[in-house]
C-alpha cells in the first residue's frame, strides 16, 4: 500500500552512539517532515524539507541532522545520542498544493528510540 515507511521501528542506543532514521514515501509528495513526540508535549517539528534539495530547521533541531536524498527519501541522523533524545520519531509528507486549498500530512508509524 502507498504511504510513508519508517525504519527501524524500535532502537536502543547508548549515550554517544550515532544512528540514522530512514523515511521513504511513494506518494510523489514534495514536502517531508520529521517530528518527535513526547508525553504532554504533542508533536514538535525537528526539520523539514519543502522540496527536493532543500531542508530547514524546525522548532527543536539541536542534536539532529537531515538529508533529503531524493524526492522519496528523507533521513534523520543523530550524531551523538543523548538521553534527552529518547522519544518517538515520526516522518510525514504532504502532496503538492492544488487550487482547492491545503492538504493534510501523511504520517509513518514511527520509530521508538531509547537512549540509555
What residue ranges bind another protein (CB under 8 A)? 4, 30-31, 33, 40-43, 45, 48, 50-51, 56, 90, 92, 94, 97, 100-110
CB-nearer residue toward another protein: 11 or 17: 11
**Assigned C-alpha cell, 105:** 500530512
Q: How far is the CB of 60 from another protein (least distance, A)?
A: 13
CB-nearer residue toward another protein: 8 or 16: 8
With b for 16 or more beta-carbon neighbours within 10 A and e for fewer, the 34-64 pattern comes to bbbeeeeeebebbbbbeeeeebeebebbeeb
66 vs 35: CA distance, rounded Å: 12
Q: How far is the CB of 24 from another protein (least distance, A)?
A: 14
* CA distances for 39 relative to 44, 86, 87, angstroms: 11, 11, 9
Q: How far is the CB of 58 from another protein (least distance, A)?
A: 9
Q: How far is the CB of 72 from another protein (least distance, A)?
A: 17
Amino acid at each position: 500500500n502507498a504511504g510513508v515507511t519508517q525504519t527501524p521501528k524500535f532502537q536502543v542506543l547508548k549515550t554517544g552512539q550515532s544512528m540514522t532514521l530512514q523515511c521513504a514515501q511513494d506518494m510523489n509528495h514534495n514536502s517531508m517532515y520529521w517530528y518527535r513526540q513526547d508525553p504532554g508535549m504533542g508533536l514538535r517539528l525537528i526539520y523539514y524539507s519543502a522540496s527536493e534539495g532543500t531542508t530547514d530547521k524546525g522548532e527543536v533541531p539541536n542534536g539532529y541532522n537531515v538529508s533529503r536524498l531524493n524526492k522519496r527519501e528523507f533521513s534523520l541522523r543523530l550524531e551523538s545520542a543523548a538521553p534527552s533524545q529518547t522519544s518517538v520519531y515520526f516522518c510525514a509528507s504532504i502532496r503538492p498544493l492544488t487550487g482547492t486549498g491545503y492538504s493534510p500530512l501523511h504520517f509513518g508509524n514511527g520509530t521508538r528510540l531509547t537512549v540509555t
